[in-house]
Amino acid sequence: MINLRGTWAIYKQEVSRAWRAVFGTIVSPVLTTSLYFIVFGSAIGGQMQAVGGVNYGAFIVPGLLMLTLLSESTSNASFGIYMPRFTGSIYELLSAPVGVTETLIGFVGAAATKSLILAAIILATATVFVDYTIAHPILAIGYIMLVAASFSLLGFILGIWAEGFEKLQMIPMLVLMPLTFLGGTFYSIDMLAEPWRSVALFNPIVYLVNGLRWTFYGSSDVNILVSVGSTFAFLALCVVVIAVIFKTGWRLRN
């Protein structure tokens, strides 16, 4: 039977750790995103044409939110599991009556919670700089939760894979960040000339940004069902990878 108290202990500990580092977890990403809103939303956005009938300032809100969600979910979860490995306190987790289920719900749940709080703050902050509406708020919340959970799982995998702080930052900085910038955060991929438009469709982040954009404005560059389906598939893939890690004990029990 699942150890509920153990799950809660991990979750509470992780949330409390984030609260202790509130500047890094909340203040810093909110400040960075606000700067994007000021520069690209208010300042430059006023000079830009509407994209797909949506004011440019409003158009970039889902993309910027996705940018923050991806990087924060990944780094929160990767640090969450990497730090106990680094400090040696992982022994307690490994010797406790908690398995993959408790560990995932605890660590990934906490990382996703932090991301959701962050998303709420960013959306609230965005209203100060740009006018935007959310066409499907329930779907938007659901999609944000799905993305936060999926990339927290990815972060968890990275935190187990990494053998140093450099490796921990490698995927978020060298893969996620460029793909997000090129994934339609600041533009519609329909604005790209061929063959770049077709090339862009190979970027998985395009589907995430456009999935969220659809929940905001009811239209996007790609089919919403493809976006949701591929996000679910990514989440399932991460769960399978983590299950295999726990089963084999890779980087944890050797």
Partner 1 sequence: MAAGIANDAGMEPILDIRGLSKTYTGGFKALDNVDLQIRKGEIFALLGPNGAGKTTLIGSVCGMVRPTAGTIHAFGLDMKKHWREARQRIGLVPQELGFDIFDTVDRQMSYSRGLFGRAPDRERVTQILRSLQLEDKRRDQIRKLSGGMKRRVLIAKALSHDPDLLFLDEPTAGVDVELRRDMWRLIGQLREQGVTIILTTHYIEEAEEMADRVGIIDKGRILLVDEKHAIMARLGRTEAHFTLEQPMQAVPEALGRYNIHLHDDGRLLCYRGGNGTGNGKADVAEIARILVEQGIRFTALDQSESSLEDIFVEMMQDQEAGA
Decide whether 15 or 224 has the Cβ nearer to partner 1: 15
CA distances from 92 to 41, 95, 96, 97, 98 (A): 47, 5, 6, 10, 10
- Give the residue, chosen from 166, 193, 194, 254, that forms a contact with partner 1 under the rule CB under 8 A: 254
Pick from 157, 85, 145: nearest CA to 119: 145
Residue 85, classed as helix, strand or coil, is helix
Q: How far apart are the first and last CA of the chain?
A: 26
Q: How far is the CB of 5 from partner 1 (least distance, A)?
A: 5
Residue 251 within binding range of partner 1, rule CB under 8 A:
no
- Give the residue, chosen from 30, 38, 44, 90, that forms a contact with partner 1 under the rule CB under 8 A: 90
How far does CA 102 lie from the centroid of its chain? 21
Decide whether 90 or 145 has the Cβ nearer to partner 1: 90
Residue 100 within binding range of partner 1, rule CB under 8 A:
no
Pick from 78, 208, 212, 196: nearest CA to 134: 212
- Of residues 5 through 64, those in contact with partner 1 by CB under 8 A are 5-6, 8-10, 12-13, 16-17, 20
Per-residue string for binding with partner 1, 69-88, x by CB under 8 A? --------------xx--xx
Question: Does residue 203 come out as left (phi exceeding 0), alpha (psi in the -120 to 50 range) or beta?
Answer: beta
Binding site for partner 1 (CB under 8 A): 1, 3, 5-6, 8-10, 12-13, 16-17, 20, 83-84, 87-99, 249, 253-254
